[in-house]
Amino acid sequence: MVFDTRKEVDFVIIGSGASGGILAKELSTAGFDVVVLEQGPYRTAADFSHDEMKVMMQREMTSHPGWSDPQTFRHAASEKATVKSSGPPPALYARGVGGSSVHFTANYWRLHPVDFKERSLLGEISGTGFTDWPINYEELEPYYSKVDWEIGVSGAPGPFDPPRSRPYPVPPLPLKSSGALLEKGAKKLGLHPQAAPMAILSQPYNNRPSCMHCGFCMGFGCEANAKSSTLATMIPLAEATGRCEIRPLSTVFRIETNAAGRVTEVAYLDAQGAQQAQKAKAVIVAANGGETPRLLLMSESSKFPNGLANSSGLVGKYLMANAHSRINAFFDEQLNEYKSVQVTRIVHDFYDNDPARGFYGGGGIDARPFIQGSPMMFALDGLPPDAPRWGKAHKDLLRHNYTRRLSLLGSCTSLALESNNITLDPELKDAAGRPAMRITYSDHADDLAMAGFLQDRSVEIMEAAGANTIWREPVSKTDVLAHLLGTCRMGNDPTTSVVDPFHRSHDVPNLFVCDGSSLVTSGRGQPTMTIQALAFRAAEHITKFARGGEI
């Protein structure tokens, strides 16, 4: 299906990732004409490879194809934001049809009931924007189950899980040695390890094959379509309706509004760099928690001088990344973590806040090879810091330990802070002439304390499991944000939130925002499941509004 840009389609969706892919499928199957504008290329499973140079070094997935799209970063507003000279971009996400659901690890934790109302339960946390959601777990639960069944999630109920209305559609993925060791160590300490819920198929399901355990998963695209990206699941269904056009290599630079304050069209650069504009009755921004506020801020006008949908002044604010910790360990026998998915077991004993810890927070621990599962990345960064870096002793360590290494990752809460935000860089522009995304971010002290707590527990678990060598990665303020949450938060009050509980912007009746930016709190570290439950729920409400003439 190809739509004329001058024809007013029912919906333009900006972004084809975790949420955009679902919205495209739901709205097109509901009978609406939909154009999806995606800045990245349209790769398919045949384009994915095990090439570490291309994917990990060249950053094929996360860099902008064809031009430089620099981001600037600083820890505080008092600093000048600069472009990092090396390493991953500060707002780390995949560009391409399917978005970051193509390259993600696919941990699919639901939020718990407590995540939606923790502010009421615990009280105010001074200096933060910690607040309750306008919806609760019970309201979102049917859509979590919808994600399980429509996207395809492998798993089994665990002792700390929230209530679920349906079982998992397919059982957990087979245990890996990292999972076995996490389980062994955790049980010795009286903890309750459980099978990891993963959006990767353990059995054939919905006309897709099961995982072949090739091992090139985190950071890579799935060559088998077993990883449940929206590229593999939702996009084909959307296109099959004949009412949805996926338009790749389309870089949106502005959402246009009319004198009545309604959205009329979306201006973008096409694959050749030519300026285009797609007319639409309504627009849904699903560009991720970094690019969504950037675009809204870029779309300022005399009617919306602070940026579109920004009467609250909160567009871009309350950025949350989830804090993390990592330890690494060697064992005597071979784990062979280069095989299969990243995560097969998790520990959720520390999910809830515990006042006895002395700080706010909660999180989970998982075991995985991390990016050092593949051979080149291991050789570059897989040994402890005191290991020789070259020579015979170095070679001996490499060849003995490649198959004997794992990491334990702690993932936890991020408190919402107004000082953590996405703004437009006042000086730097990208190759398209758009102001660069400027990220200002410092983890709250409680977030780092929680990450440190999880790291201490991780060390204990690996000691109990019999590791012969354990080393820690320092827990410190992050400058790489793989989760981009909270920057257009949902709420009932137009003065304290950007979108209403149905993802309609408070200021513009035919503008919706639905992605990681909608989250009010960060959860405990794995947000995609919630982003997608929100997308299914939003699609249902937007369909009702459109059919009822309420857009």
Partner 1 sequence: MISQKSNRRNFLSETGKLAGGGWLALNTPMLLAAGHAAEAHRASEKGWANMTAQEAAAFAAVADQIIPPDDTPGASDAGVVYFIDNVLGGFMTGAGGMLRQGLADLDAASIEAVPGSSGFAALTFEQQTGLLQAIETTSFFNTMIFLTHCGMFSMPSWGGNRDRVGWHMLGFDNRHAWQPPFGYYDALADAGENS
Interface residues with partner 1 (CB under 8 A) are: 50-54, 57-60, 63-66, 68, 85-87, 174-177, 179-181, 183-184, 187, 212-215, 223, 331, 333-340, 375-376, 378-381, 383-386, 389-392, 394-395, 398-399, 402-403, 459, 469-474
Q: How far is the CB of 42 from partner 1 (least distance, A)?
A: 13
Tokens, residue 423: 């703004």
Q: Which is nearer to partner 1, 403 or 543 (CB)?
A: 403
Q: Which is nearer to partner 1, 158 or 375 (CB)?
A: 375
Q: Based on the number of CB atoms within 10 Å of its own CB, is 165 exposed (0-12), middle (13-18) or buried (19 or more)?
A: exposed
Tokens, residue 473: 């990665």
Q: Which is nearer to partner 1, 41 or 142 (CB)?
A: 41
Q: Which is nearer to partner 1, 74 or 262 (CB)?
A: 74
How far is it, in rounded angstroms, from Cα 130 to Cα 264? 35
| Residue with tokens 């087979």, as numbered in its chain | 174
Q: How far is the CB of 101 from partner 1 (least distance, A)?
A: 20
Q: Based on the number of CB atoms within 10 Å of its own CB, is 97 exposed (0-12), middle (13-18) or buried (19 or more)?
A: buried
Q: How far is the CB of 414 from partner 1 (least distance, A)?
A: 23
Q: Which is nearer to partner 1, 148 or 183 (CB)?
A: 183
Q: Which is nearer to partner 1, 119 or 227 (CB)?
A: 227
How far is it, in rounded angstroms, from Cα 443 to Cα 525? 14
- Determine contact, residues 268/285, Cβ cutoff 8 Å: no
Q: Which is nearer to partner 1, 320 or 329 (CB)?
A: 329
Q: Which is nearer to partner 1, 205 or 545 (CB)?
A: 205
Q: Which is nearer to partner 1, 336 or 442 (CB)?
A: 336
Q: What angle do CA 98, 104, 108 make, to 5 degrees?
A: 100
How far is it, in rounded angstroms, from Cα 144 to Cα 165? 9
Q: How far is the CB of 204 from partner 1 (least distance, A)?
A: 14
Q: How far is the CB of 6 from partner 1 (least distance, A)?
A: 32
Q: What angle do CA 412, 94, 54 make, to 5 degrees?
A: 115
Contact residues for 51 (Cβ-Cβ < 8 A; gap 6+) = none
Q: How far is the CB of 466 from partner 1 (least distance, A)?
A: 9
**Of 346, 486, 42, nearest in space to 221 by CA:** 42
What is the crossing angle of helices 528-547 and 20-29, to 10°? 30
* Sign of the CA dihedral with 235 first, then 236, 242, and 245 last: positive
Number of Cβ within 10 Å of residue 405's Cβ equals: 24
Q: Please state the length of the chain.
A: 551
Q: Which is nearer to partner 1, 354 or 381 (CB)?
A: 381
Number of Cβ within 10 Å of residue 321's Cβ equals: 26
Contact residues for 312 (Cβ-Cβ < 8 A; gap 6+) = 494, 495, 496, 497, 498, 506
Q: How far is the CB of 265 from partner 1 (least distance, A)?
A: 31
Q: How far is the CB of 247 from partner 1 (least distance, A)?
A: 20
- Determine contact, residues 134/491, Cβ cutoff 8 Å: yes
Contact residues for 511 (Cβ-Cβ < 8 A; gap 6+) = 255, 263, 282, 283, 285, 308, 309, 504, 505
Q: Which is nearer to partner 1, 275 or 476 (CB)?
A: 476
- Determine contact, residues 231/383, Cβ cutoff 8 Å: no
Q: Which is nearer to partner 1, 7 or 50 (CB)?
A: 50
Tokens, residue 285: 């921004």
